[in-house]
Amino acid sequence: MKVCGVELKGNDAIICIMSRENGLYDIPQIRVQKISLVDAGDAEQVQHFQFTFAKLMTDYHVDKVIIRGRALKGKFSGGPVGFKLEAAIQLIKELPVEIISGSAVKKTLVKSQVNIDFRDTGLKQYQESAFQTVFSYLESH
């Protein structure tokens, strides 16, 4: 099963694709590490973001998308553009999307028997949260 972890930050959907087969994890090289929404007020731009995200998932044969959830209110709540990105991803037909909380990710990482040093993954530093999201999902399923 190939899964894409997503962290929504500002106008960006930061992604990490990972698969696990026979206990082995694989992180393929992908052409982009994040997809940005330039103007959240422009419907064409939102549709372009959605199309670009869907195309990337199709090209890499992703079976499921896992989005790291954000607080709806309070000091660490997500911004309005992030929720628009989340909705655009959730509305892609034929693509199962699940949202998991940051606390669930942290619990799974603590319990995990597998220790992967992020520096050895070859990913960019800003992808660490997306990596943790997809890794914790694969560890718990």
**72-109 pLDDT per residue, tens:** 888 777 789 999 999 999 999 999 999 999 999 999 99
Over residues 26-71, the pLDDT tens digits come to 999 999 999 999 999 999 999 999 999 999 999 999 999 999 998 8
Q: What is the pLDDT of residue 70?
A: 87
- Angstrom distance (rounded) from CA 139 to CA 55: 26
Question: Is residue 133 very low, low, confident or very high in pLDDT (cuts 50, 70, 90)?
Answer: very high
Q: How far from 70 is each of 1, 28, 74, 78, 121, CA to CA, in Å?
A: 25, 26, 10, 6, 25
Q: What is the pLDDT of residue 4?
A: 98
Question: Is residue 122 very low, low, confident or very high in pLDDT (cuts 50, 70, 90)?
Answer: very high
Q: What is the pLDDT of residue 51?
A: 98
Interstrand relation of 24-26 and 64-68 (parallel, antiparallel or unpaired)? unpaired
- Mean pLDDT, residues 135-141: 95
Q: What is the pLDDT of residue 79?
A: 86
Q: Give kind and range of the element (H or E) at residue 131.
A: helix 128-140
pTM: 0.94
Q: What is the pLDDT of residue 74?
A: 80
Neighbouring CB atoms inside 10 A of 75's CB total: 5
Going along the chain from its start, the domains and CATH numbers come out as 2-140 (3.30.420.10)
- Mean pLDDT, residues 123-129: 97
